[in-house]
Amino acid sequence: MASKLKVQNNKGLWHGRFLTFETIESTNQWVLDNPKQCFDGDVVYAIEQTAGHGRFQRKWISQPERSITMSMVIWPQSMHDPILQGASMSTALAVRATLQEYNIESMVKWPNDVLADGRKTAGILAEYDSSHNILVIGIGINVNMTANDLSDPCLNQQHATSMSIQTAHGFNIAEVIASLIKNAETVINNLRKTGFEQLLTEWTRYDYLAGRKILVSTKDGFLSGSYSGLNENGKLRIIDENGQEHTFWTGDVSIKNID
Ligand code: BTN
């Protein structure tokens, strides 16, 4: 059950409204369940989520004042709107830019992670409902979480870190959100202006997988080999030990010999 909703404007940082729930199951799910209540650009923020999820329905925890769990609502302008292709990747780059503003070096890991010191600090979950033409981009950031907060073995936040673990100090959640909204507005506008190809170029600047041996797991099995970048559609390319190239739309990627 969702708690009372507070609606504010975004103080000029972003073109939509800022909707806050004290407690909600999942901000992504709320948008998907209530498409008619959402306008383009709305940001739905939960102080606490009780059933937050990541890719493959994995559990995603959120804690008041310790994490950011929010979703951005986008109404794609057409079926060719590059946001449909680049939602997760552009948002990961926006999160990276926000961490950089706080002097936290981070990299992006295909398809939807932001890693600081090689450990997951944020995850993105983009979901599209074609019947209502609504795209929801969920963002989870570990801000003030402690190692203990992140130690639950059932979490998708294993091997995770937080902004405060990385810097040994705490952060003001509202300030981090403001930075994130501003950076998201910039990357999404750029994506729409310059297209997906330019986003791929930007991605290569911060690509955590570059030059690594990786293991990709999908529901059909595993494949290991050398990461060979992303193709023009954003699919992951991997060269196996026989020199054969394989591409993936989806999957979990781990680093061989390190993870
Ligand atoms: C992942 O790493 O698999 C993605 C995690 C995405 C979590 C965010 S938190 C806000 C939004 N609501 C959800 O239930 N999930 C996303």
CB of 111 shorter than 6 A to ligand 1: no
The pLDDT value given to residue 7: 77
User: Tens digit of pLDDT per residue, the chain (259 long)?
Assistant: 566 667 777 656 567 899 999 999 999 999 999 999 999 999 999 999 999 999 888 889 888 999 999 999 999 999 999 999 999 999 999 999 999 999 999 999 999 999 999 999 999 999 999 999 999 999 999 999 999 888 876 555 558 999 999 999 999 999 999 999 999 999 999 999 999 999 999 999 999 999 999 999 988 899 999 999 999 999 999 999 999 999 999 999 998 764 4
CB of 121 shorter than 6 A to ligand 1: no
Best of 27, 61, 125, 161 for a ligand 1 pocket test (most atoms within 8 Å of beta carbon): 125
In terms of Cβ atoms closer than 10 Å to its own Cβ (0-12, 13-18, 19+), residue 174 is exposed
Q: CB of 19 within 8 A of CB of 5?
A: yes
CB of 28 shorter than 6 A to ligand 1: yes
Whose Cα sits closest to atom 16 in ligand 1? 138
Residue 123: which residues within 8 A CB-CB, separation 6 or more? Answer: 54, 55, 60, 112, 113, 114, 139, 140, 156, 157
**How far is 254 from 243, CA to CA, in rounded Å?**
20
The pLDDT value given to residue 195: 96
- Ligand 1: centre distance to CA 122 (Å): 9
The pLDDT value given to residue 10: 63
Q: Which atom of ligand 1 is nearest to the CA of 68?
A: 9
CB of 142 shorter than 6 A to ligand 1: no
The pLDDT value given to residue 152: 72
Distances (CA, A) of 39 to 16, 124, 133: 7, 20, 12
The pLDDT value given to residue 259: 43
Distances (CA, A) of 9 to 13, 18, 28, 98, 115: 9, 6, 20, 21, 30
Written as six digits, the tokens of 244 are: 């054969």
